């Protein structure tokens, strides 16, 4: 596997873990940002059937696999990661869709 040029050479497991921890902080921030857009999608979509869009899922997975190939990342890992993330975001979006349309008489 060709490693990205931005990957620092590590001399110990402590180096590896420190770098992974720093990446995790960036990844969590990006997932939080993505969730804000998913919440907006729940607001914009008019019907809950629009939450699951298989064509869009396939497009995203294909695009991510191509990006992985171009950057020397394992395509199978990116595909599995994105499929799991998309599944979780679909459930999140369904919950947001329902929450946003809950009648005031049904709250609390």
pTM: 0.86
5 occurs within a structural domain: no
In the chain, the number of structural domains is 1
Q: For residues 91 and 48, what is the distance between their CA atoms, to the nearest angstrom? A: 11
**Parent domain of 45:** 13-106
The token pair at 30 is 């990006």
DSSP letters for 24-66 = HHHHHHHHHHHHHHHHHHHHH-SSGGGS--HHHHHHHHHHHHH
Residue 97 maps to which CATH number?
1.20.59.10
SS3 call for 5: coil
> How confident is the model over 26-33, as a mean pLDDT?
98
Q: What's the pLDDT tens digit per position in 61-107?
A: 999 999 999 999 999 999 999 999 999 999 999 999 999 998 665 55
Question: Confidence class of residue 6 from pLDDT cuts 50, 70 and 90?
Answer: confident
Whole-number pLDDT of residue 44: 98
Q: For residues 20 and 8, what is the distance between their CA atoms, to the nearest angstrom? A: 11
3 occurs within a structural domain: no
96 occurs within a structural domain: yes
4 occurs within a structural domain: no
């Amino acid at each position: 596997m060709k490693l990205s040029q931005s990957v620092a050479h590590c001399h110990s497991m402590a180096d590896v873990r420190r770098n992974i921890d720093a990446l995790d902080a960036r990844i969590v921030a990006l997932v939080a940002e993505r969730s804000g857009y998913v919440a907006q999608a729940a607001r914009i979509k008019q019907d809950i059937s629009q939450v699951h869009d298989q064509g869009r899922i396939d497009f995203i997975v294909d695009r991510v696999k191509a990006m992985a190939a171009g950057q020397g990342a394992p395509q199978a890992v990116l595909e599995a990661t994105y499929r799991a993330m998309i599944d979780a975001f679909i459930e999140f979006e369904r919950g947001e869709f329902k929450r946003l349309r809950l009648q005031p008489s049904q709250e609390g």
